[in-house]
A and B are shown apart, each in its own frame.
Chain A
Amino acid sequence: MTDATSSPMPAITPVSGKGSLMAQDARTRKRNAAEARFKAYGMIAIGIGMLMLLILVFNIITRGVGAFQQTFVTLEVELLEEKLDKNGNRDPADLAKVSTFGYAPLLRDAFEAKVAELGVETDLDGKDMADILSAGARAQMRDFVLANPDQIGNTVSFEFLASGRVDGYLKDRVSRDSIANDKNISVEQLDLVDQLIDGGTVEKRFNLAFITGADSSDARPESAGMGVSMLGSLFMMLVVLVLSLPIGVAASIYLEEFAPKNWITDIIEVNISNLAAVPSIVFGILGLAVFINYMHLPTSAPLVGGLVLTLMTLPTIIISTRASLKAVPPSIRDAALGVGASKMQSVFHHVLPLAAPGILTGTIIGLAQALGETAPLLLIGMVGFIASNAPDSIASGLLDPNSAMPAQIYEWARRSDPAFYERAWGGIIILLMFLITMNTIAVILRRRFERRW
C-alpha cells in the first residue's frame, strides 16, 4: 500500500485531456449523438406506423363516405292507362305483360314535362334525358304499378336513382373532360343535370339502400348495396360460432385439464399452433376439395363458408381459451376436489365459469378475424355477381348462394366502372364498423370481467 502511494500513478492520460465529468469530450458527444440518433430511429419507426394507419383510415373515410350518399331524381310520372293497362280491367296478369320497355315512354314524357315546367333550354330529346336515370328506373316503376294497380291513371311522384355517371358528376368523380370518350353520357346531359339541380329535381342525399340492398349487375353501380352480403356474412358467423365455440372449448379443456403428457398430446399441440399459421387460402383449397367436390355441399353457400372459416378460427379460439383456463389458479380446482367433486365436475362447475369471460373475448376476436377473411371464400365460389335477394328462412340463408362482406368488396374492386370503387370503400367502412364493434365488446368484456388472482 505504501508503495502504491509513494510511487506516482502510471500515466493514464485521459482521452480528452481535460478529464472533467461535467464537460463532454468529443467521444462522449459522439456516443450521445449515436444514442439520440438511435432513439430517433425508434421514434421515426413508430411515426411511420402511425402515419400509415392515419393514411389508411383517412383514405378509407374520404373515399368511402360517398357511397352512403346517392343522387336521386324526383319526377312526377303520369301512369297512363292506355300504355299500362289497355283492357282497363287491372288484371295482374295483363299488367305483368307490359315489360319494362313499356314504361320508357312514360318516363320520357315525365322528363319533358319537367324540363318544360322548369323552363330549361336543352337540345336533348326525351330519351336522352331519361338516360340520366339509372337503368333500373323503369323496373322500379313497373314494380310500383304491379304492387299498386289502383294508382294507374294517376300522377305519381317517384324518386329515381340517377345513373352512375350522373352520380359521379355530383360527387366530382366525373367531369366534363373525363367523359370525352364516354358513350354513356354526354356534356349536354351534364348541362341538363346542372339545371335540374338548380330546379331542385336532382339532389344528393343519404342512401339507405347501400346498407340494405343487394348487389347489382355491372351496368348499374348506383343500385349496388351491401345488405344481402351482410346477411351472408351473418349466416357464416352463426355457423362459425355454433361450431367453433363448443369444439374449441372442448378441445382446450381436454388439452389443458385432462391430457396426459405424452407424444400424442405433443403432436396435437404442435399441430394446433401450426394450423394457426397456415395461410388462409389453404383452408379454401381444403373446403373446395372436401366440402364441395367430395361432400357435394352447394357452391357459394354460407354454410360451406362457415365450415371453412370454422376450421380456420378453431386454432385461434383454442389458443385463447387455453390461456384463460391456465389463468384460473389451481387452488380453485383443489378446493373443488377437496369437497368431493369429481375432476370433470371441478372443471365444468368451477374452472369453466371463471374462465368464461376470457373465452368469450377470445371467441369474439376469432369471429372478427373470420369476418374479415376473404381468400378462402374466393375458392368456394362466394364471389362474382350473385343475383340473390335477402334469404327468407334460416335454411335458405345457409344453403342458397350468397356473398359475404369482404368477398363483395373484392368483387366491386375488380369491376371496371370506378363507381364500384366508391362502393368498395364504402363497404370497407361498414366492415370495419362491425370489426370495431366486436373488438370493443371484447375489450369491454375483458376490462369488466377479467379477474386478477
Chain B
Amino acid sequence: MALGLTGYVIVAVLLLTVTAFFMARGRANVSAGGDIRLLHSLPNYYGYNAAMFTAVPALGVFAIWMLAQPLMIENSVFKLIPEQMVSEGSSRGLVMSDVRRVAEGLDIAVERGALTAEEANSIRTEFRDVREILGDVGVALGSNVEAEVLYAAQEYRSRSASGTFGMTIVVLGLALIGAAASLFVTNADFRARNTVERGALVLLILAASLAILTTVGIVLSMLFETFNFFRMHPWTDFFFGGSWAPNFRGNSDLSILPLLWGTLYISIIALLVAVPIGLFAAIYLSEYAGPKVRSAAKPLLEILAGIPTIVYGLFALLTVGPALVSVFGRGEEGLLGVEWMSGATAVLTAGLVMGIMLIPFVSSLSDDIINAVPQAMRDGSFGLGATHSETIRQVVLPAALPGIVGAVLLAASRAIGETMIVVLGAGAIAKFSLNPLEAMTTITTRIVSQLTGDTDFASPETLVAFALGLTLFVLTLGLNVLALYIVRKYREQYE
C-alpha cells in the first residue's frame, strides 16, 4: 500500500543523514583551516551532531505520525458511516474492518490493473459489482459491499494517501531543516561534543524507558478491551460465575473460576514434582557434591531449563500422556487393569511435565540461596556436633527459608503462566473436579483458543481473552513482586 512511499522516505532521510555527517565534518575542518587542534571537538563530533539533528526529529515525527494516522483517519472516516448501520447487530470495529478490507482490496485492484486509480475512487455499488472485482484480484469479501462502506473505503484511501503525502513532506522538511541548521552552527568554536553527548544521553534514557512503555502497553491494551468486555458481559459472572461455556451465537457463560481451578490444580501438581526434586538437588549440589560432580550435574540439569516449552508440550501429548493412559486406562489391557483415564490429555500429564520443566528453575534458584548462607553458621553447627544433614535441616534451611519460599513463588508464577504444555497436554474441558486423570483447561489455554482462528473483536467470546490475560498478568505480577520482595529482604540480612 503506502509502504513503498514510506520506505522511500526512510531511505531519503538516511541518505540526508549521511550527507549531513560528511558535510558538517568537512565544514568544521574548513572553519579551522585544516588544523584540527583549533576545533573545540574532534571533527567526527561535528558530523555526529549534524547527523543527529537530521535524523532524530525527522524519524521521531515519522514514528509518531505512523502511529497516529490510522487512528485519526479511522475516527474521521467512521463519522461517514450512518449510525443505523452500526446499531444493526454489528459494532464499530466490525464495520471499520469491512471498510479497511474494501480499501485494501481497491489498492490491490489498482496494483493489479483491474481498476484504474481513478475508477477506484469513483466506482459506485449501483453500477458495478465491487465484490466481484475484488474477488477477481484475490480479496474475498464476506458479503456484498454496501454503498456507505464503499464510500467510506474510498475516503479512507484518499485520506490515507493525503496523510502519507503530508507526512513525506513534513518528515523530509524536518530532515532538511535539521541538516541546514546544524550545518549553519558548525564552526570551530561550536561545542559539538557536548551537544552530541546530551543527545546520546536522551537516546539512552528513551531506550531505558521502553521497558516502562512495554508495561504500560501491556496494561493499557488489555485494560481497554477488558472494559469493552465488561460492558457486554456482567463482571459478576466473570469473577463469580460457575461455568465456562463459550457459545459463538452469544449468551455464553464466561466465568474464570473453572479455568482458575484447572490452572491452580496443574500448577500444584507441577510444584509437588518440582519443589522436592529441585530442592534436594540444590541441597546435594551445594552441600555434598564435589566440584567435579557439581560442574557436570549443574549444567546438565540446566539443559532442562533451556529446552523450549513446545518440546515439553509434545513430550506431554505424545509420550507422557499415552504412558499414563497405559497405566491408568485402557481397562483390561492397561497395566493396572483400570479404566480411570480415557485420553492422553489430563491434569496429571500436564502437571508432571511442567514439574520436570520447573526442576532446574527451583534447583538453581535454591542453590544460589543456599550458597548465600554464611559458612560461619554451618561451622557453628558442626562445632556443636551436628551431622551434616542435621546442620542442613536445622540451620541452613531455616536460614534460607525466605529465599526458598521466594523461589517456589517464582516457580509457581512460571507454572501459572505456562502455555504450550497445557495447550497440548491439559485438554479443553472446563470443570471443577479433583480427579487428576481428567482433562481440564487453564487460563492460558483459553486465551489461545479464544484468540486464534477467526476472531471477532466485537463479541464477548473473543474479548474475554483480554480479561483472562489481564487476570493472568496481575496474578503472575503479584507473585513475582512478592517473591522478589521476600528474596531481597532476605539477602539484606547477610550482606
Interface residues of A, Cβ cutoff 8 Å to B: 31-32, 34-35, 37-39, 41-46, 48-50, 52-53, 56, 59-60, 63, 246-248, 250-251, 253-255, 258-259, 267-268, 270-275, 277-286, 288-290, 293-296, 311, 314-315, 318, 342-344, 368, 371-375, 378-379, 381, 383-384, 399, 406, 409-410, 413-414, 421, 424-425, 428, 431-432, 435, 439
Assuming A275-B214, A342-B197, A379-B452, is B310 touching A280 (CB within 8 A)?
Answer: no
Per-residue CB proximity of B201-226 to A under 8 Å, as 1/0?
10111111111101101100110110
Assuming A279-B476, A280-B417, A281-B419, is B280 touching A41 (CB within 8 A)?
Answer: yes
Residues on A with beta carbons closer than 8 Å to the beta carbon of B311: 56, 60, 372, 428, 431-432
The one of B215, B359, B410, B452 in contact with A275, judged by C-beta atoms closer than 8 angstroms, is B215
Q: Report how far A365 CA is from B315 CA in the complex, Å.
A: 23
Contact B469 A282 (CB under 8 A): yes
The one of A34, A46, A255, A318 in contact with B387, judged by C-beta atoms closer than 8 angstroms, is A34
Assuming A271-B215, A275-B215, A294-B70, is B197 touching A251 (CB within 8 A)?
Answer: no
Q: Report how far A421 CA is from B322 CA in the complex, Å.
A: 14
Contact B452 A381 (CB under 8 A): yes
Q: Report how far A381 CA is from B454 CA in the complex, Å.
A: 10
Having A39-B284, A285-B469, one finds 13 other A-B pairs with CB under 8 Å, namely: A35-B389, A38-B392, A41-B280, A53-B300, A250-B207, A251-B211, A279-B444, A281-B472, A285-B466, A342-B197, A344-B201, A410-B420, A413-B424
Q: How far is the CB of B58 from chain A (nearest CB, A)?
A: 18
- 17 CB contacts below 8 A, A to B, read A35-B388, A41-B284, A49-B304, A56-B307, A268-B209, A270-B484, A281-B419, A286-B217, A288-B451, A295-B66, A296-B100, A372-B309, A378-B452, A406-B308, A406-B310, A410-B310, A414-B424
The count of chain B contact residues (Cβ–Cβ below 8 Å) is 93
Q: Report how far A378 CA is from B424 CA in the complex, Å.
A: 13
Q: Is B297 an interface residue (CB 8 A)?
A: yes
Assuming A344-B197, A383-B452, is B211 touching A278 (CB within 8 A)?
Answer: no
Q: How far is the CB of A111 from chain B (nearest CB, A)?
A: 35
Q: Report how far A272 CA is from B208 CA in the complex, Å.
A: 9
List residues of B (161-219) whose CB comes within 8 Å of A's CBs: 193, 197, 200-201, 203-212, 214-215, 217-218
Residues on B with beta carbons closer than 8 Å to the beta carbon of A424: 314, 318
The one of B66, B210, B416 in contact with A314, judged by C-beta atoms closer than 8 angstroms, is B210
The one of A285, A314, A373 in contact with B465, judged by C-beta atoms closer than 8 angstroms, is A285
Contact A50 B300 (CB under 8 A): yes
Q: How far is the CB of B454 from chain A (nearest CB, A)?
A: 11
Contact A379 B208 (CB under 8 A): no
Q: Report how far A253 CA is from B306 CA in the complex, Å.
A: 27
Q: Is B473 an interface residue (CB 8 A)?
A: yes
Which partner residue on chain B sits nearest A399 by CB separation? B3
Interface residues of B, Cβ cutoff 8 Å to A: 3, 66-67, 70-71, 100, 193, 197, 200-201, 203-212, 214-215, 217-218, 221-222, 224-225, 276-281, 283-285, 287-288, 297, 300-301, 303-304, 306-311, 313-315, 317-319, 356, 359-360, 363, 387-390, 392-393, 410, 413-414, 416-420, 423-424, 444, 447-448, 451-453, 457, 465-466, 469, 472-473, 476-477, 480-481, 484
Contact A31 B390 (CB under 8 A): yes
Q: Report how far A248 CA is from B309 CA in the complex, Å.
A: 25
Assuming A39-B288, A52-B356, A410-B420, is B221 touching A289 (CB within 8 A)?
Answer: yes
